[in-house]
């Protein structure tokens, strides 16, 4: 707990950058200026169109990913957001080039992430493109991507299966139909393709997935289990556990963020008030949590080192740090989701807008926002990919950047 306080107080000054950076300079403009400088560096060092920037290697070089992972859509998506902000054709050309390089991922069926990959890239491309021929090409790719997503939807279970067979941390459970909370992010693609084709099968699957997830992935306080494993024949819940969180009963911060985002988008797409109520409760858990640091950038899990939470993996043996790392990616995606949520919730929306604004101010501070020319070209510092896997701890992550830019654009739009 003392460790928590030390890191919290050392980072809590993040929100002061606006004054340290010239007083009344507009936050969104300032952050996009940094983004342009950083991604100019990123583009200079990323010439191989089969390697999509994801994070840094220990030597500071950029670590890329191929088209079959889950993060490859975020770099093209971030380029589209920069173009959306500055309307500079140079950025559009880069966005198109990196988006086109992803095309074969429309056949990604070995895990659930095809929605993330293709909607963050091609979804933004189709939204911002004016050329009909290109729009038609992008739409065909999105339709195939949705077909790929549906190969993992088994009607008797009514959910999209996230991963193939996988062992849990305690080594006792073989998950055979694991569904993770992150999977909510794949649903946006399905709604889009139903609208595009007039075929309801995509959105029907999304609604079934969201309903079952709402029932089985949440505790009574609206915190999330990371993984729910189902019986592939009956659809019965077999296990509620974690994969990237601290313990089975803890709340992995990014998972909670995915849930806020997922149920907000469900409300946007269906206008069913039950999703709105759910999104609010899930967001309330995040913003009211006693362990959320003052600057509102969460630790990688809300319950790290807390009494009553016991990992099934060797936390003590593995932990080499004398502080609990934050996860700026959880913060940026939660901010983006809460900004959208604030637009659906009238007076109450101020609560979500204010929380998101505080997060954005923290992320715009020197503690999190890279000084131009540093951070290997990434925009944000201090994200955590998977602590239990000893992977990507307190590093830049491409999806933190992506949702940060998205949140800034949403913030600008709301502020007018
Ligand atoms: N969707 C994987 C993650 O959030 O780490």
Q: Clarify whether 113 is annotated catalytic.
A: yes
The closest-lying atom of ligand 1 relative to the alpha carbon of residue 182 is: 1
The closest-lying atom of ligand 1 relative to the alpha carbon of residue 185 is: 1
The closest-lying atom of ligand 1 relative to the alpha carbon of residue 113 is: 1
The string of pLDDT tens digits covering residues 65-117 is 999 999 999 999 999 999 999 999 999 999 999 999 999 999 999 999 999 99
Compute the residue count for the chain. 416
5 has a pLDDT exceeding 50: no
| Residue tagged 């911060």 (tokens) | 253
Q: Whose CA is nearest to atom 2 of ligand 1?
A: 182
Q: How far is ligand 1, taken at its centre, from the CA of residue 41, in Å?
A: 26
CA gap 365, 30 in Å, rounded: 11
Terminal Cα distance for the chain, rounded = 41
> What are the structure tokens assigned to 186, written together?
């794949």
Q: Is the CB of 392 within 6 Å of ligand 1?
A: no
- Closest of 383, 353, 379 to residue 253, by C-alpha: 383
Mean pLDDT of the chain: 94
Are β-strands 178-180 and 52-56 bridged in parallel, bridged antiparallel, or unpaired?
Answer: unpaired
Q: Clarify whether 88 is annotated catalytic.
A: no
User: Per-residue b/e over 324-353, b at no fewer than 16 CB within 10 Å?
Assistant: bbbbbbbbbbbbbbbbbbbebbeeebebbb
Q: Is the CB of 361 within 6 Å of ligand 1?
A: no
Mean pLDDT calculated for residue range 347-356: 98
> What are the structure tokens assigned to 120, written together?
């963050």
Q: Is the CB of 70 within 6 Å of ligand 1?
A: yes
Secondary structure of residue 416 in the 3-state scheme: coil
pTM of the full structure: 0.94
List CB contacts of 171: < 8 A, sequence separation 6 or more: none
12 has a pLDDT exceeding 60: no
13 has a pLDDT exceeding 60: no
Which of 182, 383, 391 is the pocket-test mutation for ligand 1 (most atoms within 8 Å of CB)? 182
Task: For Cα atoms 183, 187, 189, give the angle at the middle one, nearest 5 degrees.
Answer: 125
List CB contacts of 347: < 8 A, sequence separation 6 or more: none
| Cβ neighbours, 10 Å, residue 69 | 16
CA gap 245, 377 in Å, rounded: 28
16 has a pLDDT exceeding 70: no
Q: Which helix (DSSP H) or strand (DSSP E) does residue 322 occupy? A: none
CA gap 82, 54 in Å, rounded: 17
Q: Is the CB of 394 within 6 Å of ligand 1?
A: no
Q: Whose CA is nearest to atom 1 of ligand 1?
A: 182
CA gap 405, 416 in Å, rounded: 16
The catalytic residue among 31, 113, 229, 301 is: 113
The string of pLDDT tens digits covering residues 213-239 is 999 999 999 999 999 999 999 999 999
The catalytic residue among 48, 69, 182, 248 is: 182
Q: Whose CA is nearest to atom 5 of ligand 1?
A: 385
The closest-lying atom of ligand 1 relative to the alpha carbon of residue 116 is: 1
CA gap 376, 384 in Å, rounded: 16
Q: Is the CB of 192 within 6 Å of ligand 1?
A: no
Q: Is the CB of 96 within 6 Å of ligand 1?
A: no
Percent of the chain with pLDDT over 70: 94
CATH of domain 1-25+272-416: 1.50.10.10
Q: Is the CB of 163 within 6 Å of ligand 1?
A: no
Mean pLDDT calculated for residue range 394-409: 99
Are β-strands 62-65 and 178-180 bridged in parallel, bridged antiparallel, or unpaired?
Answer: unpaired
CA gap 10, 410 in Å, rounded: 29
The predicted structure's pLDDT at residue 25: 61
The predicted structure's pLDDT at residue 6: 31
Mean pLDDT calculated for residue range 41-52: 97
The predicted structure's pLDDT at residue 21: 36
Partners of 126 in the beta sheet? none
**Banded pLDDT at 19 (limits 50, 70, 90):** very low
| Residue-range domain boundaries for the chain | 1-25+272-416, 46-151, 156-243
CA gap 371, 61 in Å, rounded: 17
């Amino acid at each position: 707990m003392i460790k928590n306080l030390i890191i919290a107080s050392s980072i809590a000054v993040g929100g002061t950058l606006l004054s340290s950076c010239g007083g009344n300079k507009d936050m969104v403009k300032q952050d996009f200026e940094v983004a342009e400088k950083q991604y100019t560096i990123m583009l200079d060092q990323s010439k191989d169109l089969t390697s999509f920037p994801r994070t840094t290697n220990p030597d500071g070089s950029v670590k890329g990913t191929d088209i079959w992972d889950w993060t490859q859509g975020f770099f093209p998506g971030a380029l589209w957001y920069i173009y959306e902000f500055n309307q500079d054709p140079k950025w559009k050309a880069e966005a198109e080039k990196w988006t086109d390089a992803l095309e074969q991922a429309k056949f990604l069926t070995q895990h659930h992430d095809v929605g993330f990959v293709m909607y963050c890239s091609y979804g933004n491309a189709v939204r911002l493109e004016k050329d009909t021929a290109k729009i038609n090409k992008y739409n065909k790719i999105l339709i195939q991507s949705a077909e790929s997503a549906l190969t993992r939807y088994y009607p008797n279970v009514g959910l999209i299966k996230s991963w193939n067979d996988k062992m849990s941390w305690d080594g006792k459970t073989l998950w055979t139909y694991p569904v993770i909370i992150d999977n909510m992010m794949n649903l946006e693609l399905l709604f889009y393709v139903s609208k595009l084709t007039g075929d309801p099968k995509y959105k029907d699957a999304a609604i079934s997935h969201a309903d079952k997830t709402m029932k089985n992935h949440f505790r009574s306080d609206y915190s999330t289990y990371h993984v729910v494993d189902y019986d592939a024949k009956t659809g019965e819940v077999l296990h509620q556990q974690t994969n990237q969180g601290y313990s089975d009963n803890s709340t992995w911060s990014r998972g909670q963020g995915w849930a806020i985002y997922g149920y907000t988008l469900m409300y946007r797409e269906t206008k069913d008030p039950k999703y709105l109520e759910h999104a609010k409760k899930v967001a309330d858990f995040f913003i009211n949590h006693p362990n959320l640091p003052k600057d509102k950038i969460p630790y990688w899990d809300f319950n790290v080192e807390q009494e009553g939470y016991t990992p099934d993996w060797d936390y003590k043996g593995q932990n080499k740090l004398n502080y609990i790392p934050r996860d700026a990616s959880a913060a940026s995606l939660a901010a983006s989701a809460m900004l959208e949520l604030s637009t659906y919730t009238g007076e109450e929306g101020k609560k979500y807008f204010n929380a998101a604004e505080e997060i954005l101010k923290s992320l715009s501070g020197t503690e999190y926002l890279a000084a131009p020319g540093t951070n290997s070209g990434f925009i944000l510092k201090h994200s955590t990919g998977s602590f239990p896997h000893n992977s990507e701890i307190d590093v830049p992550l491409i999806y933190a950047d992506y949702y940060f830019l998205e949140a800034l654009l949403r913030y600008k739009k709301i502020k007018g």
